[in-house]
Amino acid sequence: MDPHGLPGPRLGELDAAAAAGLWGLLLKRAEEVLRAAQGGKAEDVDKKLQELQRKTDEQIDKGKIRGPAADQVREAIVQFSQLVRSR
C-alpha cells in the first residue's frame, strides 16, 4: 500500500513505465487465455498461461517489479491460472 493509503504496491516497488506496460501486457495475455478457454482449447490455455507467467517473471527479473509487489503479482497470476484451469 502506498503512503496515501491507496491499494497496490508501495511507491518505488513498481517502476511507473513498467506498471503501465505490464498491466497492458497482463490484460492482453489474460484476454488471450480467456478466449482460448472459452474456445475449449486446453493446449492453447496452458501455452498462454505459461507465456503470461514467463512475461511476468521477465519483468520481475529485470527489476521492473520489486519487493512485495513482485510476490503479489506472482500470486495473482497463480490464482488466475488456477481459476482458468478449474473451468
Cβ neighbors of 1 (< 8 A, separation 6 or more) are 7, 8, 10
C-alpha cell at 4: 496515501
Residue 64 in contact with residue 22, Cβ under 8 Å?
A: yes
pLDDT in tens, 12-51: 566 677 677 777 877 888 888 888 888 888 888 889 899 8
pLDDT at 5: 53
The mean of the pLDDT values for the chain is 79
Hey, which residues does 21 pair with through a beta bridge? none
- Look up the pTM and report it: 0.69
Give the pLDDT score at 3. 47
Q: Sketch the domain layout of the chain as residue ranges.
A: 16-85
